[in-house]
Amino acid sequence: MTLVLLDTNAYLRLAKRIKPLLGIPFGQKGYVLTILKDVEDEVHRSARLQEYFPWFDDPPLQQERLAKRVRLSQDEKAQITAMKSVLRQHALAHAADYTTLGRSPPSPTDCFCLAFGQVRQAMVATDDLGMHKLAEDFELPVFHCHEVLKKMLTAKVIDKNLVAKIYRALEVNGDLPRSWVEVKHTAFKKVFGLKPKHAASHGERSEGW
């Protein structure tokens, strides 16, 4: 089994459309998706995220997150907290590296997710370029969220129509990351074809698509 931890942005981009999402092994490596309570707490602390994603606390999703939540021992919590501190201090000490090329400084929750990945030997899935930079600095394995989507498609957990719907929803809401755009006609050429198409105009944000 290969545990894949979804950070806040990765979970919010997938959870509304892919059901069930968490705790179901797929692919040859037995990827299993999960999130941490810290991610839930981050959403609950943010009025902006609650406004954009009002479905986050729908009972079925709450129940799924609770049932599939990873339990940490006291020793693991201590190790993760210590590693989180190291990651956070590094990011703050090299702030200039995390405010260029579309990056933003990793938050405490971001650092906790990466620390979890090291302690539990899990992959972290995120579209946050600052987290990718921090992971690179410490040689920690990370996925882009679109890579998770591709692995689910290859494993036939989802189909091409659902991939297209997810892309379209993110486009309409102005939430399609550049990294997703870059692979649209390569990794997902069987969905969108080989030739680049004109990007859809961004409409007004709907209720958390």
Q: What pLDDT does residue 124 have?
A: 97
**Residue 203 domain-assigned?**
no
Structural domain count, the chain: 1
Q: What pLDDT does residue 203 have?
A: 45
Does position 113 have pLDDT exceeding 60, yes or no?
Answer: yes
What pLDDT, in 10s, does the model give residues 134-193?
999 999 999 999 999 999 999 999 999 999 999 999 999 999 999 999 999 999 999 999
* Contacts of 153 by beta carbon, 8 Å cutoff, 6+ apart: 159, 160, 163, 188, 191
Mean residue pLDDT of the chain comes to: 91
Closest to 71 (Cα-Cα) out of 3, 139, 148: 3
Q: What residue numbers bound the domain in which 8 lies?
A: 2-146
Q: What pLDDT does residue 63 have?
A: 96
Band of residue 206 on the pLDDT scale cut at 50, 70, 90 = very low
Instruction: Enter the pTM of the model.
Output: 0.89
**Residue 85 domain-assigned?**
yes
Does position 198 have pLDDT exceeding 70, yes or no?
Answer: no
Does position 104 have pLDDT exceeding 60, yes or no?
Answer: yes
**Residue 187 domain-assigned?**
no
Read off the CATH number of the domain in which 7 is found: 3.40.50.1010
Q: Are 110 and 128 in contact (CB under 8 A)?
A: yes
**Residue 157 domain-assigned?**
no
**Residue 201 domain-assigned?**
no
Closest to 49 (Cα-Cα) out of 131, 112, 107: 107
**Residue 56 domain-assigned?**
yes
What pLDDT, in 10s, does the model give residues 131-142?
999 999 999 999
Q: Are 7 and 15 in contact (CB under 8 A)?
A: no
Which token pair is 119? 């302690």
**Residue 206 domain-assigned?**
no
**Residue 153 domain-assigned?**
no
